[in-house]
Amino acid sequence: MLTEAIQIVLVDDHRLFRSGIAALIDSIPGYKIMYEASNGLELSQKINPQTKPDIILLDINMPHMNGIETAQWLKTNYPDIKVIVLSMLEDADKVMTMLRLGVKGYLLKDAEPHEFEEALKKVSNHEVYFPAFVTRHLVSNVNRPEAVKLNNRETDFLKLAATELTYKEIADKMCVSARTVDGYRDQLFDKLHIKSRVGLVLYAIKQKLIEV
């Protein structure tokens, strides 16, 4: 029996780019472009329970309703749709924001065709996909984290660090001082050989401490 194709919606404001990506995806067995939109506003007008795709490929920089706003809207209205970001940006802050909004993957627009295919397959199989620059620039020496033992407070902090809370709000939630939270953060940076909050989020995802 034939398996039904994974339905994909492409949201990007550049028509030529959409055409190229649509042709690429339609060439991958098991995946099909359902429809396209030029921005988040157009997507919100097209999508409904009957036209809901399995995966949305989402640009960040778009007029009217950008990718971050669209990801937030999708998280609220269609949380079961898997989102893969398409961007020209190697931007740590953008990655962090999108991770907090629950995206399942992040692809650079100049990625090779096999990377698109790998991302689609991983995300459709309930995995996550992030390109080399994420780990290369935001996480260092990730060959050791599995062996690291964290205490309960460090684990609690790590889970909260992967949310939208500020460090001050994390301190309030943990009923400790801001200085104590800074201490947890610095201890984890040192223990895990990580240099940024994005790195902490990626570690938490890898260790399945949070769901994305």
pLDDT in tens, 65-121: 999 999 999 999 999 999 999 887 766 667 778 877 889 888 888 888 888 899 999
In a domain, 1, yes or no: no
**Domain final residue pick, 119, 137, 155:** 137
Cα separation, 44 vs 71, whole angstroms = 11
- 23 and 97 assigned to the same domain: yes
Q: What are 159-192's pLDDT values in tens digits? A: 888 777 889 999 999 999 999 999 999 999 888 8
In a domain, 175, yes or no: yes
**Strands ordered across the beta sheet of 31-37:** 31-37, 6-11, 55-59, 82-87, 105-108
- 103 and 68 assigned to the same domain: yes
- 131 and 194 assigned to the same domain: no
Q: Which of 46, 44, 50, 110 is nearest to 71 (CA)?
A: 44
What is the pTM for the complete model shown?
Answer: 0.67
Residues whose CB falls within 8 Å of the CB of residue 139, separated by 6 or more in sequence, listed in order: 194, 195, 198, 199, 202, 203
CATH number of the domain at 32, please.
Answer: 3.40.50.2300
Domain hosting 70: range is 6-137
- 31 and 132 assigned to the same domain: yes
Total structural domains within the chain: 2
Residues whose CB falls within 8 Å of the CB of residue 150, separated by 6 or more in sequence, listed in order: 158, 188, 191
